[in-house]
């Protein structure tokens, strides 16, 4: 299959409610959508999960656009691809920029699946017809409102609740939630807000029977987590500092975590995610799908990934309506009363991209073709 063009669009979308983490508040999203087109007119969709600012990781919507436009697209357009795994190989000269690469890699997987008239889940080797869904709840000023919100999510069927925490919004909040909901599957996510010197405070969380504590320490630091894990009863789940299979291997060997959150964007796409979950499964480390406040395309890719056998814990992949007035895919992602999402079996990601809605939300678009990139990597090209 020859990649003829890449159509890039930036869409802007308002979140239904602001989402607060230890590193900031998000009100609206600036999302890059990538449509990879083959010579014969078929296309596949990917979503770049970089955030607006470099506060979760170092990428942003704008850095992804530049790197895609000037470096990644030229490496891919005009190439003939037999298997989706080759996509990463072509993009290998570019270091880092995992989320930008993943946007393209995921689009190629969708395209390949469509060309083979098979579902993305099936092409990946997924084994689940439905996946388990949990919710990630932002930091709330008011504990009463947080408790009400949790009650509402549990009533909707969600199987696990994850609370964002930060210094000053931790033990007291978790204690109140545990008191009110003694039996629910409960986790916390610090997004790197603590240091090893906070060990005594973090040990207090051992009292609340949490399924895990997500990314308590530095975003780029595995070793410190191994020191912390030795002192905690609660399992550590790493998110920010796992970028590839080697990071996962190092973290597991060092005892830095006992659970891993896999995000397609952070690990460079489906091929890498699949290898990681396989390795983790072989080492008794449960994994689950994280989320990055994705629109429908990213959400659909997360669902397909979560159908792989290593994804044994509920993910942060929840219903479209928790985020958006109207999603960009049809049908929107829906969650059953049992807290599950059905894995589509129609071709590709299994959801239709609502082009009319996408057009309405688009603030910039460009098409990158082979002609423009003829001559290889246009370093510094504009």
Q: Which of 105, 153, 189, 327 binds ligand OSB (CB under 6 A)?
A: 189
239 binds Mg ion (CB under 5 A): yes
284 Ramachandran zone, left/alpha/beta (phi>0; psi -120 to 50): left
Q: Please choose which of ligand OSB, Mg ion, none residue 292 contacts, taking the beta carbon within 5 to 8 angstroms, the exact cut-off set by kind.
A: ligand OSB
Residue 220, φ and ψ in degrees, nearest 5: -120, 35
Catalytic residue among 101, 114, 162, 164: 164
Measure the CA–CA gap between 200 and 180, rounded to whole angstroms. Answer: 25
C-beta closer to Mg ion: residue 10 or 214: 214
Alpha helices in 257-295 (DSSP H): 270-282
The closest residue (CB) to Mg ion is: 239
Least Å distance, CB 176 to Mg ion, is 21
293 binds ligand OSB (CB under 6 A): yes
Q: Are strands 213-214 and 43-48 parallel, antiparallel or unpaired?
A: unpaired
Least Å distance, CB 292 to Mg ion, is 9
Q: Which of 292, 305, 335, 358 binds ligand OSB (CB under 6 A)?
A: 292
State the DSSP string of 217-241.
Answer: S-TT-SHHHHHHHHH-SSPEEE-TT
C-beta closer to Mg ion: residue 10 or 189: 189
C-beta closer to ligand OSB: residue 266 or 274: 266
The DSSP 8-state label assigned to residue 309 in this structure reads T
C-beta closer to ligand OSB: residue 125 or 167: 167
C-beta closer to Mg ion: residue 219 or 223: 219
Buried b (16+ CB within 10 A) or exposed e, 171-210: bebbeebbeeeeebbbbbbbbbbbebebbeebeebeebeb
Q: Which of 10, 98, 105, 189 binds Mg ion (CB under 5 A)?
A: 189
| Residues 303-322, interacting with ligand OSB (CB under 6 A) | 316
Other residues' Cβ atoms within 10 Å of the Cβ of residue 28: 11
Residue 263 annotated in active site: yes
Q: Which of 70, 136, 159, 229 binds ligand OSB (CB under 6 A)?
A: 136
Measure the CA–CA gap between 270 and 302, rounded to whole angstroms. Answer: 9
Least Å distance, CB 379 to ligand OSB, is 31
Other residues' Cβ atoms within 10 Å of the Cβ of residue 363: 9
- Upstream peptide bond of 97 is cis (omega within 30 degrees of 0): no
- Dihedral sign (CA 18, 19, 24, 30): negative
Catalytic residue among 114, 162, 258, 263: 263
C-beta closer to ligand OSB: residue 22 or 234: 22
For residue 358, CA distances in Å to 297, 352, 362 come to 11, 11, 6
| Residues 198-257, interacting with ligand OSB (CB under 6 A) | 239
Least Å distance, CB 134 to ligand OSB, is 9
158 binds ligand OSB (CB under 6 A): no
Print the binding letters for residues 55-84 with ligand OSB: x by CB under 6 A, - otherwise. -x----------------------------
Print the binding letters for residues 214-233 with Mg ion: x by CB under 5 A, - otherwise. x-------------------
297 binds ligand OSB (CB under 6 A): no
Residue 258 annotated in active site: no
316 binds Mg ion (CB under 5 A): no
Measure the CA–CA gap between 265 and 65, rounded to whole angstroms. Answer: 14
Measure the CA–CA gap between 183 and 66, rounded to whole angstroms. Answer: 47
C-beta closer to ligand OSB: residue 36 or 228: 228
Q: In the β-sheet with 259-262, what is the strand arrangement from edge to edge? A: 135-137, 161-164, 186-189, 213-214, 236-238, 259-262, 287-289
Kindly indicate which of the ranges 14-22, 212-220, 324-332, 338-346 contains the residues binding Mg ion, using the contact rule CB under 5 A. Answer: 212-220
The catalytic residues are 164, 263
Chain residues binding Mg ion by CB under 5 A are 189, 214, 239
Chain residues binding ligand OSB by CB under 6 A are 21, 56, 136, 189, 191, 239, 290-293, 316
């Amino acid at each position: 299959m020859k990649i003829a063009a890449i159509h890039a669009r930036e869409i802007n979308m308002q979140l239904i409610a602001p989402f607060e983490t230890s590193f900031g508040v998000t009100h609206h999203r600036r999302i890059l959508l990538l449509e990879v087109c083959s010579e014969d007119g078929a296309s596949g969709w990917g979503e770049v999960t970089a955030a607006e600012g470099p506060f979760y990781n170092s990428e942003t919507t704008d850095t992804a656009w530049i790197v895609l436009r000037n470096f990644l697209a030229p490496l891919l357009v005009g190439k003939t691809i037999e298997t989706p795994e080759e996509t990463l190989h072509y993009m290998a000269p570019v270091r880092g920029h995992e989320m930008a690469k993943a946007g393209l890699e995921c689009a190629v997987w969708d395209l390949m699946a469509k060309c083979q008239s098979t579902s993305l889940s099936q092409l990946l080797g997924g084994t689940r017809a439905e996946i388990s869904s949990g919710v990630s709840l932002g930091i709330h000023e008011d504990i009463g409102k947080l408790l009400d919100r949790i009650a509402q999510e549990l009533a909707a069927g969600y199987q696990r609740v994850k609370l964002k925490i930060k210094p000053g919004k931790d033990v007291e909040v978790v204690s109140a939630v545990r008191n009110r909901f003694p039996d629910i599957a409960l986790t916390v996510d610090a997004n790197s807000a603590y240091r090893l010197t906070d060990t005594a405070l973090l040990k207090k969380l051992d009292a609340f029977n949490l399924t895990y504590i997500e990314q308590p320490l530095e975003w780029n630091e595995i070793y410190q987590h191994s020191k912390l894990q030795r002192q905690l009863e609660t399992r550590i789940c790493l998110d920010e500092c796992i970028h590839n299979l080697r990071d996962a291997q190092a973290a597991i060997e060092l005892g830095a975590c006992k659970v891993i959150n896999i995000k397609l964007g952070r690990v460079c796409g489906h091929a890498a995610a699949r290898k990681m979950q396989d390795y983790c499964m072989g080492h008794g480390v449960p994994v689950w799908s994280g989320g990055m406040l994705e629109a429908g395309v990213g959400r659909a890719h997360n669902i397909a990934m979560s159908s792989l056998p290593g994804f044994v814990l509920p993910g942060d992949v929840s219903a479209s309506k928790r985020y958006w007035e109207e999603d960009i895919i049809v049908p929107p992602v829906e969650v059953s009363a049992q807290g599950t999402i059905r894995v589509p079996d129609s071709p590709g990601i299994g959801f239709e991209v609502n082009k009319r809605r996408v057009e309405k939300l688009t603030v910039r678009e460009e098409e990158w073709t082979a002609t423009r990139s003829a001559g290889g990597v246009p370093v510094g090209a504009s």
